[in-house]
Amino acid sequence: MIIAIDGPAASGKGTLAKRIARHFGFHHLDTGLLYRAVARDVRAVDGTLDSPEDAGKAAENLDPETFDDPTLRHPGIGNAASVVAQVPIVRTILRKFQEDFAAREPGAVLDGRDIGTVVCPHADVKIFVIADTGVRAERRFLELHERGEAVTREEIFDQIERRDKRDSERADSPMKPAADALLLDTTKLGIDETFDAAVELIKRKIGQLGA
Ligand code: DC
């Protein structure tokens, strides 16, 4: 069983995916972490983020043991990840890791930008999470503010807009809902309501599959 959860920056897809995985007893992979780790490793050697040589080498040598590195959650890394994510060789290398993860039993939940379209086009359930940019920016601002990061609402809003534009306009595997994805608009939903709505969608879909 594969559940693909895609959506733009700060849409709440990561929190949702983690909870869905726990609820169904499945494995969870936050695929954004892979791109974040590549960006971190390119920076560590003073490399160029959009260079196929530098970013490709970092992707090739990626160590999954470092995915719990807390620096990967820093806001600046999100933007850098969005830049390395434009490089086709990086996407090709990272796809293999994601495909292997998706095959894990009894099931896997992967969240990202291109899971339903490219990484797991045959996923059993595909959810594309959306929310107004202002609402996403406010949620991310509050989260960072709570962690003591010195950021402004305007900065966060601009970063999210820029990142969405880059992620949805890149040539290779742009962020977009798969034709058979179920759209989940969380603009007016809290975390629990989002989770309940997603479980409903998944149960309905699994029912249709006859599982
Ligand atoms: O989900 P996130 O914010 O951690 O992702 C960071 C960046 O990584 C995102 O802006 C684009 C890239 N990414 C991607 O291109 N494809 C994915 N499946 C996941 C993330």
Which atom belonging to ligand 1 lies closest to the Cα atom of 77? Answer: 6
Give the residue, out of 139, 144, 164, 167, with the most ligand 1 atoms within 8 A of its beta carbon, to mutate for a pocket test: 167
CA 183 – CA 165 distance, rounded (Å): 19
| E strand or H helix that includes residue 71 | none
Predicted model pTM: 0.96
CA 25 – CA 10 distance, rounded (Å): 24
Residue 75: cis peptide before it, omega within 30 degrees of 0 = no
Lookup result for tokens 């490089």: 87
Q: What is the DSSP string of 154-173?
A: HHHHHHHHHHHHHHHH-SSS
What spacing in Å lies between the alpha carbon of 133 and ligand 1's midpoint? 17
Whether the pLDDT of residue 209 is over 80: the answer is: no
Residue 106: cis peptide before it, omega within 30 degrees of 0 = yes
Residues with CB under 6 A from ligand 1: 9, 31-32, 35-36, 78, 81-82, 85, 112-115, 163, 167
pLDDT band with cut points at 50, 70 and 90 for residue 207: confident
pLDDT band with cut points at 50, 70 and 90 for residue 135: very high
What spacing in Å lies between the alpha carbon of 210 and ligand 1's midpoint? 32
Check residue 211 and give its pLDDT. 55
Kindly state the average pLDDT of the residues 97-104. 98
What spacing in Å lies between the alpha carbon of 119 and ligand 1's midpoint? 13
Q: Whose CA is nearest to atom 1 of ligand 1?
A: 32
Give the residue, out of 35, 49, 127, 159, with the most ligand 1 atoms within 8 A of its beta carbon, to mutate for a pocket test: 35
In this structure, are strands 2-6 and 108-112 parallel, antiparallel, or unpaired?
A: parallel
Q: Whose CA is nearest to atom 20 of ligand 1?
A: 32
List pLDDT tens digits, range 23-74: 999 999 999 999 999 999 999 999 999 999 999 999 999 999 999 999 998 8
What spacing in Å lies between the alpha carbon of 163 and ligand 1's midpoint? 9
| E strand or H helix that includes residue 101 | helix 88-102
